[in-house]
Amino acid sequence: MVTAVLGASTIVHFFNNVIFSTIFTLNTFYNILAAEKTTLSNILGTY
C-alpha cells in the first residue's frame, strides 16, 4: 500500500516537473521570439 502511494506520488511529481519544464521552455522561447521581432522591427523601422 505504501509503495503504491509512493509510486503514484512519484509519477504525479514527475508529470508536474515535465509540464512545468515544458511551459517554462515555451515561455522562454516565446519571449526570445518577441524580443527578436522587436529588434528586427527597430532595425527595419517598419513597426
Q: Per-residue pLDDT tens for 20-46?
A: 999 999 999 999 999 999 888 888 876
Q: What are the boundaries of each domain within the chain? A: 1-42
Quick one: cell of 16? 508536474
Of 4-8, 14-18, 30-34, the poorest mean pLDDT is in 4-8
- Measure the CA–CA gap between 41 and 20, rounded to whole angstroms: 31
Concatenated DSSP letters of 12-37: HHHHHHHHHHHHHHHHHHHHHHHHHH
Quick one: cell of 31? 519571449
Average pLDDT over residues 8-16: 92
pLDDT confidence of residue 3 = 86
Cβ atoms of residues 41 and 47 within 8 Å: yes
Q: What's the predicted TM-score (pTM) here?
A: 0.58
